Amino acid sequence: MIHLLDIQNKLDGTRELLLEKLSHPYLMEHVESPFIDDDRLLLLTSLLEQQEGNQERATSYTLTTMLLQIALDTHEHVHNSLPGEGDESHKQRQLTVLAGIYYSGLYYKLLADLEDVDMIKRLATGVKEVNEHKISLYQKDSGAIDQLMESLKLIESSLLGKVADHYQAAEWYEFASNWLFVKRLLSEETLFMNTGHSLLFNALKKIALPKMDQKAAELSSEQQKYLLSICTRYIEFSMTKIKTASKKLSGMNSLLMERLDLITGQYQSMSKKFAEEG
């Protein structure tokens, strides 16, 4: 097993390189700092640590995939304009659009400088898939719950999946995609419980409660429980898949196991909360 300190050092080093790439003085001044998902970084680093012999290439692939993910995540923060909104919020939106474009340009440049045309193609195909599924989720297009959940999973894991495909590491994809999916489901649940809305639950409501007036603001407590129970079923199923896949992986490291325990804990405390709240 890879030593915790080694992987932690690698993560810190890549994180620093990533921050360096993302730093643009004017953007830093006016838009929210880009969010670096540490779990995604850990999954990519661990995958490439095991699959790629060339350390420089492994770091570049991690950087470029993270840049692209951050570019897509940044564009998630572009909201619709509001009547009478102030200049600063307008400017912030404009720069958020441009920040996403800038970060995705950096992904292309990094791989072009590496002369890695294959990886450019793989990741571009991933971005296409992600955006197709984002539109489907946003428009509540899915006709079945399985289809909706698959869209959500692909939104979270398509890019990482393309890197795993490159190494034919199907078991890594199984492990990582379910991990990212569970994380997203937990965050959608939290958002739904706190605000009564979330992209996933809005779409789920349309499929699972078809007779309900979709514009109605309030769900009854029974209806909320029903939707949450659907989500929980998918979390449980994916947790089982993660555990099964983790046993098959030879490249598990102690940091991955530590993080996995944390997610399991988060899921268990969420389940307990549901149970207590009835």
Partner 1 sequence: MKMKLLYTYLNSDLTLIEKELEESIQADSHLLRQASLHLLKAGGKRIRPVFVLLGAKFGDYDINVIKDVAVSLELIHMASLVHDDVIDDAELRRGQATIKAKWDNRIAMYTGDYIFARALELMTEIRNPAAHQILSDTIVELSVGEIEQIKDKYNFDQNLRNYLLRIKRKTALLIAASCQLGAVAAGVPEEDHRKLYKFGYYVGMSFQITDDVLDFTGTEKELGKPAGGDLLQGNITLPVLYAMQDEYINKRVRTVREGMERAELNEILKLVQESGAIEKSLEISDRYLDKALAILEELPPNKAKKSLRDIAKFIGKRKY
- C-alpha neighbours within 13 Å on the C-beta side of residue 218: 2
d(CA 90, CA 242): 42
Burial of 130 (0-12, 13-18, 19+ CB in 10 A): buried
Instruction: Kindly tell me which residue out of 4, 36, 78, 207 binds partner 1, with binding defined by CB under 8 A.
Output: 78
Cα–Cα distances in Å, from 201 out to 79, 177, 218, 219? Answer: 19, 20, 13, 11
Q: Can you tell me whether residue 34 is helix, strand or coil?
A: coil
d(CA 38, CA 44): 10
Instruction: Kindly tell me which residue out of 20, 53, 56, 80 binds partner 1, with binding defined by CB under 8 A.
Output: 80
Return the residue matching tokens 């470029």.
64
Instruction: Kindly tell me which residue out of 13, 33, 54, 128 binds partner 1, with binding defined by CB under 8 A.
Output: 128
| Residues between 12 and 31 that touch partner 1 (CB under 8 A) | 24, 26-27
CB of 140 to partner 1, least distance (A): 11
CB of 241 to partner 1, least distance (A): 25
CB of 272 to partner 1, least distance (A): 35
CB of 96 to partner 1, least distance (A): 9
- C-alpha neighbours within 13 Å on the C-beta side of residue 99: 30
Is residue 197 part of the contact set for partner 1 (CB under 8 A)?
no
Instruction: Kindly tell me which residue out of 125, 190, 223, 224 binds partner 1, with binding defined by CB under 8 A.
Output: 125
Instruction: Kindly tell me which residue out of 17, 97, 193, 208 binds partner 1, with binding defined by CB under 8 A.
Output: 97
Torsion sign across C-alpha atoms 212, 217, 221, 225: positive
Using the minimum distance from each CB to partner 1, give the nearer residue, 5 or 101: 101
Using the minimum distance from each CB to partner 1, give the nearer residue, 26 or 35: 26
Is residue 95 part of the contact set for partner 1 (CB under 8 A)?
yes
Is residue 134 part of the contact set for partner 1 (CB under 8 A)?
yes
